[in-house]
Structure formats: C-alpha cells, structure tokens
Structure 1
Amino acid sequence: MDTPPNTTGLPPALTLALDIGGTKITAGLVDDAGTLVHRARLPTPRGDAEAVWAAVDALCTETLAAAGGRVRGVGIGCCGPIDRTDGTVSPINITAWQRFPLVERVTDAVGAPVRLHTDGACMAIGEWWRGAGRGARFLLGMVVSTGVGGGLVLDGAPYGGRTGNAGHVGHVVVDPDGHPCTCGGRGCVETVAAGPHLVRWAREAGWDAPAGADARDLAGAALAGDPVARRAFRRGGRAVAATIASVAAVCDLDLVVIGGGVAAAGDLLFDPVRAGLADHAGLAFLEDLRVVPAALGGDAGLIGAAALVLTGD
C-alpha cells in the first residue's frame, strides 16, 4: 500500500503499541492524549520463533499502514522475562522465543524508536496514566487472567528494576509446597489464582464441569450458586490478597489495580481479595491501601506501551 509522505515538518502524532502475550498479540495506535484510535489482533502462533515473529510483523505492517506510514515510535509490552538492556525477550509462555531480539526486529520493521517493557508493567502504566490509577504515587497493577502478571509505579514513576522485570508478582510464592509453576518454581500465586488453575482445582474438588470449561464457565457456575466454584474463587482471591499484602509491605503501596479475565468476575474475586487483605495486611502503614478494578480493560497494556514512547521510559 502506497502512503503519502509527511510534508508538514511536524513529528507524527501517533504511537504504535504492541501487547504480546502467550494467547494473543495486539497492536494499536495511541494518540498523545492516551486515546486508542486503532486496534488489530492475532492469536499467538504455536510454531517456532519465526512463526511468532511473522504475526508481530504482520500486525506492525497493518498498523503502520493505518497510521499513514509513519509513527512517533513503538512501545512494546511483552510477557516476560525480558531484558531491557539488550532488547531481548524470553517469555515463559512463548517458549519458542528465547533471547529473541525483539527490539532489533521491530526497529528494522517499523523504522522508528522502540521502547520495551513487560506486559504487566505496561498494564500498570496504562492504568496509572489514563485509568483507575491516576494520581497514585505507589501503585501495583495486577493482571489475573490465563496467568498472573504485574507492574509497579513507585514514587510517581514506572519502575522496572535492574533488567526490566520488577513487578513480576505472578511468581510470588503463596504455597511453598504447592503445584510446580512454569517459571521453574513451586506454589506461585499464578498456580493458584490464574484461570486455568482455578478450573483445575475446581475439577479436582468435584466441580462437574463440561468439557473445555474455562474460568468464564467457572464464574457462571459460581454466580449460579455452585459451592465448589465459589470455593475456587475464594481460594484464588485469598492467594491474590496474600501476594498484595507482601508486595505492599515491601513497596509501601497506596493503590492496587487489578484487571484481566479472572478479575472480570467482579465481586467473586474482589470480595475474597479484600477479606484476605483484612487478615494479611496488618501493618499500620497499610491501613489506607486500596484495591480497585482496572478501568481500561484489555486496552491498558497498549496505552501503557505507548506511554513508554511518550515519556522516554
């Protein structure tokens, strides 16, 4: 597709954002006000490294064309671990990518500056910039979905740590003798609260689930009064609460924003989270800690990825 040249002499007003996860890859265009003006999505391929890259490349091409051929830059939120120093990614749930040179590939494909962070960090940044976390100085953003991820904003600025992986709260250990985790550890909150693990536990506890049932089906059963389904959400919510209490004590948080597919179950998750916090967050400086639902839904990661470019993070 031919695109007209930019003859205004002004920088392009749109940022290309990528949100790369183990289930889907989403690309978008975000304006300087943080408004998502274009979105495209593909499932994450299960093939080799180049098959996954081909999907990212196709989305970059389509989205760049929608922008008229030029963008201010590219912000990437990718499931981790990542290495911001060398621009590579080694996601636990995209096993074909090991030290994959994502920043280099995207830079070559788009021809614009590229910024990289974890998908959880981008969710947190998006909610802090334009969502439920506006104005918070010490914020944890959590995604509770197929996995559990997160990111931190500390003292009013995104915090990535030494390699860019700070805020990887899905691998806070809540059950030292629990199930093995894909990270190589055991008993991480992800093994308790993530959607597939909620379903696994409910099945083992006697939930008579239809074939292929997922966390949405489990939520429907819980809302209909199924006692096992409700226990599964209580168990998951209390594990999330224990994680929040630990991270809040270390980072002196004032706000936690929770999004993701499991969080969409609403009070089924949030009621046991808040009850769990009453048990676990007993320190006086945590008395004012608030836990709220995310406001931007699935767009938070794209908006946060764009903010990486706009702030130069």
Structure 2
Amino acid sequence: MKTMPSPDKLLAFDALARGGSFTAAAELLDCHKSLISARVKELEQELGAVLVLRTTRKVALTEAGERLKPHAARLREMLAQARMAVDQTQCDMEGPLTVSTTSSLAEHVLGPILSDMSEEYPALQLSLQVNNQLQDPISNVLDFCLRSARSHKVHDDRLVARLAGYARENLYASPAYLERHPPILQPADLARHRLLLLESEQKNGLALQSGENIVRQPVAARLYLNSYPLRSELAQAGHGITLLADYSVQQQLQSGALRQVLPDWHCDYWPIYLVHPFRTPLSRKYQAFIDYTLPRVRAALPDNQRRSGRE
C-alpha cells in the first residue's frame, strides 16, 4: 500500500514550485533552504518519481512535478482557509454558548445575568441548562458551569475554576411565625420550633457555626422538603423555620417577608466557582462571557458584599 504524502513535504514542494529556487522557497516558508531540499527529496522518494530538475541557481519541474503542482497549491489554499475559519471563530462574538448551573443559582443569580447579556450581545445564542447534579463541561459538552462546591471535587487538570465567592446557608422564618412562637436567642431554642428541612440536615443534629464555635443542635423537623422554592414559600406563609442560601432570599429580606433567625449563626458555608474547559488562547466570546458574568455573579453573592463592606 502506497503511503500518503506528508502535508509538510507537499507545502515545501509548493513553495519551491512558486519560488523557482530553494532560496526563494525558504523565504516563502521562513525556514532554511536545506529543509526545503530535504523535504522535497523525501517527497520524491515517497511518490517514487522525480519532481524537480536541480541546477545551480534554479529548478525546473518535471512532468510529474507539473501534475503535482496544482494539488499542492490546493492543499496550501485549503490550510489557509482552515486557519481563517479558526481565526474567525476565535474573534467572533456570535454563535452558541451553553452554560449549566443549579436551579437556585439559575433563578437567583445566573438567569438574570444571562438575560442582560443576551441584550448586550444579541448575536450570541446563550443556552442555560438547569441541573442540580454535578456536570462535567467536557463530557456534557458545556462551555461553562457555575458550581456550588459543597461536597464534591470542583475541577481537575482538564478544567479551569474561577472563584466567584461564597454562599452561606442560614435559618429564616416569617415575622408572623416568630411573633407567634417563643423567642430564639440561642441554638438550643430551636428544639421548641417547627423546622422545614431535609431529613439529612437534621440527622445527628443541625450543625450551626458562629466564628470558631460549632454546635450540633438536636431538632425534630415535622416536614421534610427537598424543594427550596417550596421551603421559601412555606416559611413566608408562617409554617416554620427553614434553611436557605443567602443569595436566594435577598428580595424577601428587603420586603420583610422573611427574617433571619439566629443571625450570628450559619449552617453551611461553601465556595462557588465558574468552571470551564482548559483552553488557551480563549476565544473572544469565551473571554467576553467571563468578563461579563464573573463580576456580576460576585456582586450577587451577599457574602462578597459583606466582605467588601468590612474592607
């Protein structure tokens, strides 16, 4: 079986055919003329034909060389078009861009940001996938993931993780509920109250932290809920105390629909990362997405606001 001619050798032959000498061909490809000579010789051996007749200063194409000449030229043109296509992709601010995140981050943080971004960059085809399971940008064919890194590995060597900030999970209840029930001044007071939790959250006691002080407070939840929107609705309606991420309750706190319980204590604290496949250099739309979304995500996380206020 005959071997396929090497593209590098064909490009060397094309430069020689265009330049008419090894010196001119070397200038066209910005290399040494000995490299041109070696590659053309190897190409002749691969094809089993003499392609050029060498003289002291110039070369002449043989019949085989003349027949090969237009094919080598087409290869050069095709490679140039391929490079142009990639360069255009790197420079374009248009086309698809797919992002994944959890339901709560989508609703309260990333969704509004992407809606604003679609107005500013109308040629981008932004797609937001909501999935509470851990998503791998590479295997799931995603451009970006906004991840809550609570109990799993955020990234590996194939990925880049950019820290957006931290989220806290706190206890909240409606003012009406708090007025009807005994005051809550310390974690032990929770034992006398109705809590709306996941079963796993109250197993072995509800973990609470204030500075370096950590306690596990036994509680008896009367209703187990794995839906955060439903937890929020029931808490606002006065049905009990629940755990919610701080970024998800800002409007309710401002309107007075919810009030934080034990404000000096929080139940969980975790980082949030913008994760994407490792690529260098980044395309223009990738860099624009990072530059647009990351500072806005950071601004939407209350813990970042608290930190900046203390500085």
Max radius of gyration: which structure?
2
Q: Is this a same-fold pair by TM over 0.5? A: no
With normalisation by structure 2, the TM-score equals: 0.30
Larger fraction in helix: 2
